[in-house]
């Protein structure tokens, strides 16, 4: 059994600048393999360090519409497609 702490809410990017693939899978309710596939196709923003993928918390929150001030903003009419880079 895993001794890792389960994430119960979306972490603050200031406290946790990046998340692991396992943490993203847990937050999104997806399998680990599904998140790895999404990272490889560009559907989920990521940083690769050696053999490890990390997901920037702020970019993931922005992608999901959870970033600060996003409740007043209109949704992007053309969301990124798999394999398409997200705007910086």
Where do the structural domains in the chain lie, given as residue ranges?
A: 18-64
Q: Which is higher by pLDDT, 9 or 48?
A: 48
- Six-digit token string for 79: 């969301």
d(CA 78, CA 86): 11
Burial class (CB in 10 A: 0-12, 13-18, 19+), 60: buried
What local confidence, expressed as pLDDT, does residue 69 receive? 55
- pTM attached to this predicted model: 0.69
What local confidence, expressed as pLDDT, does residue 3 receive? 46
Interval 25-82: pLDDT, tens: 999 999 999 999 999 999 999 999 999 999 999 999 999 998 765 444 455 555 555 5
88's CB contacts (< 8 A; 6+ apart) are none
């Amino acid at each position: 059994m895993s001794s890792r702490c389960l994430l119960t809410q979306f972490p603050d990017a200031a406290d946790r600048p990046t998340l692991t693939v396992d943490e993203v899978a847990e937050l999104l309710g997806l399998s680990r393999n599904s998140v790895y596939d999404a990272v490889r196709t560009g559907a989920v923003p990521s940083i690769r360090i050696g053999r490890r993928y990390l997901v920037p918390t702020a970019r993931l929150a922005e992608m999901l519409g959870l970033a600060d001030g996003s409740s007043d903003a209109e949704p992007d009419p053309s969301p990124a497609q798999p394999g398409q880079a997200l705007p910086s």
